[in-house]
């Protein structure tokens, strides 16, 4: 298998696995970026490239398309359809970000003002729809019905997870099982579809396709749990959004679910007030963080994330040994390193 390979691996100490993956896949990624720019254009509606450029060029890490490229390349795929699928996956991701920002009434994304703030909610909704339809065109071009089936199911799981999150927010009865379902919907479904379609397009044997799905699923879950932990402790600089967003939006994430399950009557009254009733005052976020600390809720969430990262690494054992496999394994560790 060609690629920049060993040079990059030698720099292990200097670069994050994600950057080494990007270096390995540099040629493919350049082609994907070109495709993304071509396909997000619209002859008729100049508002579309304005909004999408704001988001697509904002320096997102392109993690999801890299997963598709890595999966396909790792299994020896030599065609061009993996580029279309990588762009598909990034378009779906960008579309969900646009709609999420409307739903969450967010102000910042990737360290910049959100599209709904710069333009309006209308543009975010409609340009999101446009990107969904563009992603759909791209995947249809591959002519691979199994790939279409996987991505259609992933889209439904994503939308279902988002609605579930909406109804579970503000509801203290939300438990770890419901949380996992939400996380699979909002994050892991696209990760696992991204890796799975890479294997399908490479015509890999069933057990390898399954292993790729399992890797993406576990990586996505670990990734989202870490994101939820950072919301109670990262800085705006490191995560590009404000600490406490989930708290303000009254979302039941893993740390809070853990603390609510162990709450004293007084703490429970606090959670009822700030999450269920939404009556939040100055100092409440700090108090929430103190309660989380008291019950080891952050540690519990971190342990859970590390266990999922472990499952991601284990799934890789079913795949042929290669440099890309090693990079994907290191990526799983790296995702949880942000909170360890």
Which of 33, 88, 106, 155: binder of a second copy (CB under 8 A)? 155
Stretch that binds a second copy, among 42-50, 59-67, 77-85, 288-296 (CB under 8 A): 42-50
Nearer to a second copy, 96 or 329 (CB): 96
Nearer to a second copy, 125 or 307 (CB): 125
Distance CA 151, CA 173 (A): 31
Distance CA 281, CA 109 (A): 24
Nearer to a second copy, 28 or 246 (CB): 246
Residue 249 binds a second copy, judged by CB under 8 A: no
Cβ(69)–Cβ(198) below 8 Å = yes
State the minimum distance, in angstroms, from the CB of residue 42 to a second copy. Answer: 6
Q: Kindly write down the DSSP assignment for every residue of 306-335, as one continuous string.
A: HHHHHHHHHHHTTS---HHHHHHHHHHHHH
**Residue 82's closest CA among 221, 212, 220?**
212
Nearer to a second copy, 21 or 197 (CB): 197
Which of 40, 63, 97, 127: binder of a second copy (CB under 8 A)? 127
Secondary structure E strands in the chain: 108-109, 112-113
Which of 63, 86, 89, 164: binder of a second copy (CB under 8 A)? 164
Torsion from C-alpha of 112, 85, 72, 78, nearest 10 degrees: -120
Residue 167 binds a second copy, judged by CB under 8 A: yes
Q: Which two tokens stand for residue 161?
A: 């997870």
How many residues bind a second copy (CB under 8 A)? The answer is: 42
Cβ(157)–Cβ(185) below 8 Å = yes
Cβ(50)–Cβ(7) below 8 Å = no
Nearer to a second copy, 129 or 294 (CB): 129
Secondary structure E strands in 65-158: 108-109, 112-113
Task: Give residues 131-150 in contact with a second copy (rule: CB under 8 A).
Answer: 132-134, 136-137, 140, 143, 145, 148-149
Cβ burial of 81 (10 Å; 0-12, 13-18, 19+) is buried
Question: x/- contact string, 62-101, with a second copy (CB under 8 A)?
Answer: ----------------------------------x--x--
State the minimum distance, in angstroms, from the CB of residue 37 to a second copy. Answer: 16
Nearer to a second copy, 46 or 265 (CB): 46
Distance CA 126, CA 130 (A): 6
Chain residues binding a second copy by CB under 8 A are 42, 44-48, 96, 99, 102-103, 121-123, 125-127, 129-130, 132-134, 136-137, 140, 143, 145, 148-149, 152-153, 155-156, 158-164, 166-167, 181
């Amino acid at each position: 298998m060609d690629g920049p390979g060993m040079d990059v691996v030698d720099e292990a100490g200097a670069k994050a696995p994600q950057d080494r993956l990007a270096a390995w896949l540099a040629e493919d990624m350049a082609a994907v970026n070109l495709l993304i720019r071509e396909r997000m254009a619209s002859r008729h509606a100049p508002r579309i490239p304005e909004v999408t450029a704001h988001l697509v060029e904002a320096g997102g890490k392109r993690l999801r398309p890299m997963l598709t490229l890595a999966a396909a390349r790792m299994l020896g795929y030599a065609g061009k359809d993996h580029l279309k699928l990588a762009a598909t996956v990034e378009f779906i991701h960008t579309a969900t970000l646009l709609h999420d920002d409307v739903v969450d009434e967010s102000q910042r994304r990737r360290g910049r003002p959100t599209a709904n703030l710069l333009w309006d909610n209308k543009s975010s909704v409609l340009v999101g729809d446009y990107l969904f339809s563009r992603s759909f065109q791209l995947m249809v071009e591959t002519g691979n019905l199994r790939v279409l089936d996987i991505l259609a199911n992933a889209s439904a799981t994503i939308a279902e997870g988002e609605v579930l999150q909406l109804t579970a927010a503000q509801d203290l009865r939300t438990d770890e099982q419901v949380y996992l379902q939400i996380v699979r919907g909002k994050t892991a479904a696209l990760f696992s579809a991204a890796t799975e379609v890479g294997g399908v397009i490479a015509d890999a044997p069933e057990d390898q396709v399954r292993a790729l799905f399992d890797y993406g699923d576990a990586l996505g879950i670990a990734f989202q749990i870490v994101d939820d932990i950072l919301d109670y402790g990262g800085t705006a600089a490191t995560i590009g959004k404000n600490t406490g967003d989930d708290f303000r939006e009254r979302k039941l994430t893993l740390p809070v679910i853990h603390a609510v399950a162990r709450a004293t009557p007084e703490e429970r009254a606090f959670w009822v007030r700030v999450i269920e009733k939404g009556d939040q005052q100055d100092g409440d976020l700090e108090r929430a963080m103190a309660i989380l600390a008291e019950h080891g809720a952050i540690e519990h969430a971190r342990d859970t994330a590390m266990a999922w990262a472990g499952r991601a690494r284990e799934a890789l054992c079913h795949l042929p040994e290669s440099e890309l496999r090693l990079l994907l394994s290191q990526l799983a560790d790296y995702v949880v390193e942000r909170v360890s």
